[in-house]
Every structure is written in structure tokens, then in C-alpha cells.
Amino acid sequence: MRTFFKSCIFLTLLTCSFDVAAEQSVRIAVGRFQEQVDIKGKDITVQPMDLPAFKVQEGLRCTPAKEGFRCGGKLLLTDKLRVTSPERLFLNNHEYRRELELISREHKNKPEVLVVHPLPLEEYLVGIVSSEVPSSWPMEALKAQAIAARTFALWKKYQRIDLPYHMESSVLDQVYSGADREYDTARQAVRKTYGEILTHHHRPIHAYFHSTCGDHTESAKEGWGMKLSYLPGSNCGNCHNSNRHQWSAEFPNSRINQVFKKLLGEPVRQMKIVSRSKTGRMKKVAISGKTKRKIVTGVDIRRLLGYSQLKSTLVTEMSKTKNGFAFKGRGSGHGVGMCQWGAKGMADKGHSAEQILVHYYPRTNVRRMY
């Protein structure tokens, strides 16, 4: 029944004609706190669910409690607080407009405060484009980014309709840094593509994107195990100016052994790529100790060693050194969908946003939803 309900909403969304009043909104998870959460701002109003509202002048400090929140020494028996201000709100050195929600819940058997930022989708997109790509990039690349990000956000929103948020603010979904990093060219790109999304058979696509593909994007089948005809993998050749087109990384034995201790149960002696995708990305890696051998996916290797340290699974060389293991590779990110540096390269050559998008997402159309 729940799956059917989601499908109905999704199909209604896609088959209706939207006007300005139907502009979408999104809910972004911007923080999780198991000890205390500090929100700064002026003239803050706190509205607990089913309790009277109260005001604080400079900031709000709350800790999670079993039955709600403890704010300023006062126990609030509610599972949600709506925090608003006529000016900016500050959390973890990021700025947010107007409103944050604090949700008290349990996570891994511990009390936690989940902070969610609700905002209009078009406003969110300005922050996404500003966070994902530099302001100096050509307008057509920024427009392509705006359309891809809008499509991704709508798809995620209706995928997570049962959750208290639609997207994370990190690379797990789309990087959103709040209102403090917004720039004018991003606003222009969002405004010029207002309401436009990528569709396949009249439905929003899985509009994945990443920083640098390293010459060829990965298919959704190879990258995610999903057969999507509009993500077959595309020749790029336009991302050579990225400083992550080629990279190297070294990990000391102590780090390798720490990461794989639970999996292998003994020090790692050797790591070897045993299978690759069609584009050369590592699919399976054999990790060996003195007596044990385990096979791990390339995606898991990158996750365990750290996305920022091992920039992609397109590892061209892996070798044992005196002090650990050395990697050489190309690209940055998962490699599926639009290559952002490739989009810039195409825009530099005079291609339009639509041409860029069709190149990385063949068999799709740009459609204005509202």
C-alpha cells in the first residue's frame, strides 16, 4: 500500500501542469547532534509542537532528552521544535534563512537531535549550484548544473516521502552549505532554468553527477547495478583541466590495518585489483593477510579509506610500499552521470546547457514542470 501511495503521488506530480503557486519545497538534513546543538541568531522564536511558543534574543542551546529536549535548563516534552528568525540563523558556521526544525529521536539506541532546514526548491538550488561549482564557470555549465540538481532533488523528495527530510547536505546527496556561499551567477542560472528538469518517458531521471570522470563516465549498471538506458556511460574528454583528473594517494600500514581489521582480522599484506568495469574502475579488490583473503568491492574500498582521500574508484595503479600502500588514479567522485568539469569543458567550447545534458544523459528531454 505504501509503495502504491508513493507511486500515485509521483505519477500525479509528473502528469500535472504546474503554475508558479505550485513551486516545490524541500527539507534538508543539516546536522545531527547527540550532545548539544547551538543555534545563533537574533529575535529567535521557538515553537514547540503542542506547547506555547517562546522567544530567545541571541541564541538557543538544546540537548536531546529521552522525552524531548532540554533547552536552557528547561525540559520540553515534545519531539519537534520550530526555530524561526526574521534574520539569518547560524548552525555549525553555516547560515540558514528563516527556519530550522529540531527533531528529537533515537538513533542507534541513543537520543539525537536531527536538524532539518525546510526551504523552497529554487532557493535551495542557488545554494547547491554555489556549493558544487565555481562562480567563474560559463553560464551554460551553471545552467546544466541547476537542471541536473533540480531533477535529482525532486527524485529524492518523492523517494523519501516517509522520512523527516528529503536530502542530506553532504556528498551523500548534494553538497549544500546554506545561504552563506551563494553567488550571483548561481542565482542567474537557477532563474534562467526555473522549473526545468530532465525527463525520460515523462518522468524525472536519476540525475547523478560528479566532479571529474577521468575521460569516460560510468554506466548506472556498472556503478549502481541499475539498468537505466539514459545512463549508459559517455565519452567525455573534456575534464582534463580538473586538478583531480590525475591524482595519487598513499596510506600507511597503520591506516590500512585499522580500516580492514574488522573485515580481515589480521594485518594486511597485499591488496590486488581482481576485476574492473568497462571504463577501468576497480570492481573487486582482494585483500590478503598471512592466512586470510577477502574480496571487497571498489566502492567499499573508497568508502572505508575515505572519499576525499581515495578520490575515485578509477585506480590505475595500486602498489605495496615500504610503509604502506600507494594508489594512482583519475577522476573524482562515483563517475556516474554528468561530469561537472566535463560540462565546463563543453561550455568553454560553446555547447549549450541542453547539449551538455543530452551528452551525459542521452535519451532525455528538458521539460519545464512549473
| Per-residue pLDDT reduced to its tens digit, 72-111 | 888 999 999 999 999 899 998 899 999 999 999 887 788 8
Reference 169, options 185, 153, 155; nearest CA is 153
pLDDT at 23: 76
> Among 95, 119, 143, which residue terminates a domain?
119
pLDDT at 4: 37
Below-70 pLDDT ranges, the chain = 1-22
Do 339 and 191 reside in the same domain of the chain? Answer: yes
Do 47 and 59 reside in the same domain of the chain? Answer: yes
Do 126 and 235 reside in the same domain of the chain? Answer: yes
User: Is 138 within the bounds of a domain?
Assistant: yes
- How many residues in total does the chain contain? 370
Give how far the C-alpha of residue 35 lies from the chain's centroid of Cα atoms, to the nearest Å: 25
* Residue 83 near residue 62, CB atoms below 8 Å: no
Q: Please provide the DSSP assignment of 218-233 as one string.
A: BPHHHHHS---TT-S-
End-to-end CA distance of the chain: 29
User: Is 57 within the bounds of a domain?
Assistant: yes
**Residue 139 phi, psi dihedral angles, 5° rounding:** -60, -35
pLDDT at 22: 66
User: Is 222 within the bounds of a domain?
Assistant: no
User: Into how many domains does the chain fold?
Assistant: 3
Q: Which domain holds residue 98?
A: 26-119
pLDDT at 68: 87
pLDDT at 181: 85
Long-range contacts of range 304-310, CB-CB < 8 Å, 24 or more positions apart?
Answer: 304/259, 304/260, 305/251, 305/255, 305/259, 307/171, 309/249, 309/251, 310/249
pLDDT at 21: 41
> Among 119, 151, 180, which residue terminates a domain?
119
